[in-house]
C-alpha cells in the first residue's frame, strides 16, 4: 500500500493526457490524410527536433515528463538536445555526433528488446 501512496498521481495524469494527445494527433493524421505512417513518423520526429532546438519542447517535458519524452516527438527532442550540448562541448562536429550519443541508450535497449522478441 505504501507504494501506491508514494506515486505522484497528478504527474501520472499529466503524462497520460499529453502522451494521449500526441497519439490522437497521429491517429487523426492517419485517418484524415493520405500520409503514410512512415511520413507521420518523420513529421513527429522532425517536429520534436525543431521544437527542441527552439527550446519550446523542454516546457512540455517539464510539465508531462514521460508523456512527452516517450512518443516520437520526444525522440526528436532528445536528438536536438544532444546535438546542442555536443556543439557546446566539441564545436561544429558536435552537431553530427551529439544526437547519436544522446539516443544511444534508447537505441541499444530497443535493439535488445527486438532481438529478444525475434528469438523467443
The 10s digit of each residue's pLDDT in 2-60 is 877 788 899 999 999 999 999 999 999 999 999 999 999 999 999 999 999 999 999 99
> Residue 117's CB: how many other CB atoms inside 10 A?
8
Q: From CA 102, how far away is CA 56, in angstroms rounded?
A: 18
Q: For residues 69 and 94, is the Cβ–Cβ distance under 8 A?
A: no
In a domain, 90, yes or no: yes
In a domain, 1, yes or no: no
pTM above 0.75, yes or no: yes
In a domain, 2, yes or no: no
Domain that holds residue 22: 7-118
What's the gap between Cα 74 and its chain centre? Answer: 2
pLDDT of residue 89: 92
How many domains does the chain divide into? 1
Q: State the chain's mean pLDDT as an integer.
A: 91
Amino acid at each position: 500500500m505504501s507504494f501506491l501512496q508514494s506515486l505522484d498521481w497528478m504527474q501520472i495524469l499529466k503524462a497520460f493526457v499529453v502522451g494521449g494527445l500526441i497519439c490522437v494527433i497521429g491517429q487523426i493524421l492517419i485517418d484524415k490524410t493520405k500520409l503514410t505512417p512512415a511520413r507521420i513518423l518523420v513529421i513527429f520526429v522532425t517536429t520534436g527536433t525543431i521544437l527542441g532546438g527552439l527550446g519550446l519542447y523542454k516546457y512540455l517535458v517539464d510539465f508531462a515528463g514521460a508523456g512527452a519524452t516517450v512518443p516520437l516527438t520526444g525522440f526528436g527532442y532528445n536528438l536536438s538536445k544532444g546535438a546542442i550540448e555536443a556543439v557546446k562541448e566539441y564545436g561544429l562536429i558536435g552537431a553530427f555526433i551529439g544526437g547519436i550519443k544522446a539516443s544511444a541508450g534508447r537505441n541499444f535497449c530497443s535493439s535488445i528488446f527486438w532481438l529478444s522478441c525475434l528469438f523467443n
